[in-house]
Chain A
Amino acid sequence: MSRSLLPLFVAASLWCADASAHHSFAAYYGPSEPQGFVTLEGTVREFRYTNPHGILLLIVRDAHGAEELWTIETLAPAMLSRSGWSRDSLRHGEKVTIQGWRARDGSRLLRLQNVKCENGTVLGVTR
């Protein structure tokens, strides 16, 4: 089949392309510093060390004193472990400072760049 005829069949063939696990961080999260890049201080509510992405739930107090729950997405633990992370890197109730890219939709969702733990350890992400 020549390429010139193929576009006629594209619409019929593309539908079968399945949804893959991977979503683009670049499409999902803020462009770069400083617009989408934020720093949060909060308390660890939950840390899940799972592939394809880890999740950190962070309780952050807003300017009025009300608590907000932020969802922090990390890279795959298989990669984090090579940057010094472990399943026990963050404990429930621990006070931490997080830096990362905020979701483009403005929700309380962040892609993690680094975290400063209560003991002063800074855990980053290398790819």
Chain B
Amino acid sequence: MRRWGGTRSLVAACLALLVLPAAHAGARSPHLAGTWFPVRYTAAAPSQPDETLRRLVAPGATLMREPAPPVFEFPRGEFGGLLLQDAALKSAQQWKPDTEPSLASACNPASILQAMTSPFPFEVHPATQLIVIRLEYFDLVRLVFMDGRAHPGPDYPHTKTGHSVGRWQNDVLVIDTTHLAPSIITTNGVAHTQALHVVERFRVDPDGKTLHYTQELDDPAVMKSPGARYAQFKRQSGHVEPYECDPSYVVSIQNRGGRVSSQETELVQSLLEQTRQSQRAWVNGDSASYATERMSHTDRFTIFGPFGGPSPKGWSDDIAKIQANVAKAFQGGTSAIELVQSYVSGDLAVLVTIDRNEVRFVGHDRPLPWNLRTTQVYERDAEGQWKVVHRHADPLLPSRNLDQTLQLLAQ
């Protein structure tokens, strides 16, 4: 209840500011109002800091090099020229990308340092003594107090948006922010503490189309001297989209390399190998491994054999006898199985294969092709064994037209 009371007080204060007579914000900000999209530079058109803003950056601040396109992020060990304290440098150099992302961090936004230079747009809504900056990045909303107030004391909460106060310096909006919760400076291991102090400057070109932006960051525990960063934005129609972070993507990243896939691949390879063994046995006249070991002896079993005719539903010993009789005609040869497609889902797996065999049949003096196109549906039984519940094997024939197919069906 106390927290809600505090929130209500904050909301009331914000509303009061919104309805106060025009002061700083309203007088200068029309150019700034709107939706701003980041400009992404290219190798041919590199980042060019605005000269007006560059002159305002504190002497001695290191203007960070921008990461190279097309990735726009620093690789491991590259920090844009920031002069880091030894411990911070060591910590950043030891950072390993495989520690991220995690479910715990996936929806944890970075502070405004990253947020303002992220590849997402933001909206600026100037009111009277307040400017609201609404970012697409993680749905963050910044309140910039333009009423001349000072930053609060050290007990004020530290957040990813911090506490911001603004003022106009000619045509440049200067926002001073403290009370930022610890977060990242770069995406490759340089972090800031809650002592970070950020000064941002915004300047809109006279035509109102381009917004120039600098960020000056000072965190003495991390950097030997302040750093500075430049970005440019273009005014465009449109608005920020809802972000609504969903951390579930991390599960897929963590399972990369295909834990699920490798299980599936192992299963498919295992079933294929079983089928190859059975096929080799069958070519040599032995149907037992198919009939006895591989097939499901349940009511769910069905088989569409290569000879046509009735299609038994449900397993019976007669099926095994028929298969044994057929197999007697196979007097040896070669076999190979090509996997066309496989499907695995839960307790069900399907192999679609082309079986290419050369077989010496009883009554024939030379090997003959015995090529089939087959579909085998496997089901995992109560004992965890994968059994064939359906087999469909047709002779692999050359393509035929409709009339030829009709003739075949009429026989």
Q: Which A residues are closer than 8 A to B by beta carbons?
A: 1, 3, 6-7, 9-11, 13-14, 16-29, 31-32, 48, 50-55, 57, 59, 65-71, 73, 75-76, 78-79, 81, 101, 103-105, 107-109, 126-127
Residues on B with C-beta less than 8 A from A31 are 75
6 contacts between A and B (CB under 8 A): A7-B85, A9-B221, A13-B221, A19-B100, A67-B342, A107-B257
Tell me which residues from 84 to 135 in chain B have a Cβ below 8 Å from any Cβ of chain A.
Answer: 85-88, 91, 97-102, 104-110, 114, 118-120
Contact of A20 among B85, B105, B220, B253 (CB under 8 A): B105
**Across the two chains, which residue of chain B brings its CB closest to A14?**
B91
A7, B248: Cβ atoms closer than 8 Å: no
Q: Which B residues are closer than 8 A to A by beta carbons?
A: 40, 67, 70-76, 85-88, 91, 97-102, 104-110, 114, 118-120, 136, 138, 181-184, 186-188, 191-195, 220-222, 224, 240-246, 248-249, 252-253, 255-258, 260-261, 264-265, 268-269, 338-339, 342
B300 → chain A, closest Cβ, in Å? 25
A84 → chain B, closest Cβ, in Å? 14
A78, B220: Cβ atoms closer than 8 Å: no
A6 to B84, CA, bound (A): 12
A103, B108: Cβ atoms closer than 8 Å: no
Contact of B241 among A10, A28, A65, A78 (CB under 8 A): A78
Contact A107:B252 (CB < 8 A) given known A24-B188, A66-B268, A69-B261? no
Contact of B76 among A3, A14, A27, A57 (CB under 8 A): A27
Contact A51:B252 (CB < 8 A) given known A3-B224, A17-B184, A78-B136? no
A27 to B77, CA, bound (A): 9
Contact A14:B258 (CB < 8 A) given known A22-B114, A79-B119, A127-B72? no
Contact of A14 among B187, B193, B265 (CB under 8 A): B193
Contact A6:B220 (CB < 8 A) given known A18-B105, A68-B265? yes
Contact A23:B265 (CB < 8 A) given known A9-B221, A17-B192, A55-B252? no
Contact of B106 among A7, A9, A52, A67 (CB under 8 A): A52
A55 → chain B, closest Cβ, in Å? 5
A26, B188: Cβ atoms closer than 8 Å: yes
**Across the two chains, which residue of chain B brings its CB closest to A28?**
B97
A11 to B107, CA, bound (A): 26
Residues on A with C-beta less than 8 A from B183 are 17-18, 20
A53, B114: Cβ atoms closer than 8 Å: no
B265, A67: Cβ atoms closer than 8 Å: yes
B102 → chain A, closest Cβ, in Å? 7
Residues on A with C-beta less than 8 A from B221 are 6, 9-10, 13-14
**Across the two chains, which residue of chain B brings its CB closest to A48?**
B249
B91, A104: Cβ atoms closer than 8 Å: no
Residues on B with C-beta less than 8 A from A73 are 249, 253
**Across the two chains, which residue of chain A brings its CB closest to B257?**
A107
B256, A71: Cβ atoms closer than 8 Å: yes
Residues on A with C-beta less than 8 A from B194 are 16
Residues on B with C-beta less than 8 A from A66 are 265, 268-269, 339
Contact of A21 among B101, B119, B193, B242 (CB under 8 A): B101
A21, B252: Cβ atoms closer than 8 Å: no
A23, B97: Cβ atoms closer than 8 Å: yes
A1, B220: Cβ atoms closer than 8 Å: yes
